[in-house]
Copies of this chain bind each other. A is one copy, B any other.
Amino acid sequence: MVFENAPGILSHAAIAGKKEADGPLGTDFDQTYDDTALGTASWEKAEAELQKEAVGLALDKGGLKADSVDVIFAGDLLNQCISSTFGLRDFGIPFLGQYGACSTMAQTLLLAGLVVDCGAAQLAAAVTSSHFCSAERQFRLPLEYGAQRTPTAQWTATASGCAIVGFGGKVKLQHALVGKISDLGIKDAANMGAAMAPSAAESLAAYFEDTGTRPVDFDAVFTGDLGSVGSELLRKLLSEENIDLERKHKDCGLMIYDRTEQDVHAGGSGCGCSASVLCGHILKNMESGNYKNILFAATGALMSPTSQQQGESIPGIAHVVHLVREQ
């Protein structure tokens, strides 16, 4: 997908929890909360609050009003995407719910870029979130049970990121690639990195082939969120196709936490991880000129506890967005 009219990111905001605030990107987030519940009565309501804060702050930072946004693409990991629904309910912005698991930030961003590029919208917003506690109890086990985590497990980030796309801004959307579902039969829900690495490899290889580029043509290729296990697999898979990602690769799941100091095993995950790293760290560094030309390839594991219980494997998906800093 080629964005011919150079839609740009007018404004963006990243909100995060305490553990994320304590991590290496802590100062990149616009707002962080020590209270896991954000003053609400449940973790699900807290996650909705994260999205509400992210959108509200992105609007404020851009000097924009909610009623000037023509459409918002939003999604999260919770059943029926309730963080998005309840977080965005009061804005009165036309709403299209998205589900791409942890790939959702790339999915919402490319759709926001598309509707602006083709003139269907003047302003479009992209937002996603995740919350460690709401994800654990929905996908895994009650926190109170105190289950031991496996070394390949990733830590769902408590975070949200919102980007508002329109004409203007220093960072432009140039290309995007919509990924295919790929499934190599991985069944271990505590090893999402392995389940998602093949889709990241497939989408990135397709992107490089379609555009005649190589990793060396970019300042960085960000994946989100493969963690340590998936990142290694991705590089290996691409090296088998003679694509050397090694020197250019960064994974949002490995950037958001300090794995030597913070007990997160294979790294971060969740829609909110790549969303907050993009909207907090990457875009800021593009605007300041540290990065001029990057790929943002968010990956998702399209499973549910029900599909797991019924013995299904974990299909993965990865969408790619090419962002450039205007000279």
Interface residues of A (CB under 8 A from B): 1, 41-42, 44-45, 70-71, 75, 77-82, 85-86, 88-89, 92-101, 107, 111, 114-115, 117-120, 138, 177-181, 183, 302-307, 310, 312, 315, 317
Contacts and interface: CB of A to CB of B under 8 A. Distances in A.
Contact of A310 (B44, B93, B118, B179): B44
A97 B95 contact: no
A89 B181 contact: yes
Kindly report how many copies of this chain are found in the complex they form together: 2
Contacts of A71: 178
Closest 5 CB pairs of A and B: A118-B118, A80-B304, A94-B178, A97-B99, A85-B302
Contacts of A179: 94-95
A107 B92 CA distance: 17
Contact of A80 (B41, B44, B95, B99): B99
Contacts of A119: 118
Contacts of A183: 89
A114 B306 CA distance: 33
Contact of A180 (B80, B95, B101, B138): B95
A157 B88 CA distance: 29
A95 B44 contact: no
Contacts of A89: 181, 183, 315
